[in-house]
Amino acid sequence: MFITKNRAMVLATTVSLLGGCGGAEKTDTPGVASIAQPTATASAAASPSERPLIRADASEEERTRLQDVYIDCLRANGFPKQGAVKGRNGGYPSDLEDFDLSAGVVDKIKKNCGPKEPELPIQRAKRLDPQYADHVEANVKCLKSHGIEAVVENDAPALVNGLPGRSDGHWLDDCEREAFADYYSTLN
């Protein structure tokens, strides 16, 4: 997923980086699109093995099912219905702090829903892979070798000139898979 400014919903159902160009967070560097990373807000209570993984080969139905389970939990624990949309084109916030929720509601969501928040392979790698930083560097190097200007920002690959055109867009996924191949092969 890529970070763009002024949008509060992350489409959690998207596995491919190019397909997930709707995430939202502010970056420290103006004009740099960053790959969204998991936030501590909803996932802090989850242990490494508890969060469901959205595998690269997951069907759209499976992605939607995982997202909807998490959204049901958010709503059942006090999150406003309009803040999380179920279904194929739905999504949920990347950061609960973007909403004016009481501390009690946020704590309740973290405790009850953190283990249900689905994560992408790169998000799991950031949490668990001791060689994550090396893999990010390899990802950026690969992107650069294919003419896509990228840097490491906030411990993640970031695109300097925004998303590449359609003909080069596949390099986003290809370079990530190549850079993280040894870690991704360990995922169940």
Q: For 129-188, how does the pLDDT look when each residue is reduced to its tens digit (9 = 90+)?
A: 999 999 999 999 999 999 999 999 999 999 999 999 989 999 999 999 999 999 998 886
pLDDT band at 50 (very low <50, low <70, confident <90, very high): confident
91-136 pLDDT, tens digit per residue, is 888 788 888 888 899 999 999 999 999 999 999 999 899 999 999 9
Residues 6 or more apart in contact with residue 2 via CB below 8 angstroms: 17, 20, 21, 23, 33, 34, 35, 36, 159, 163
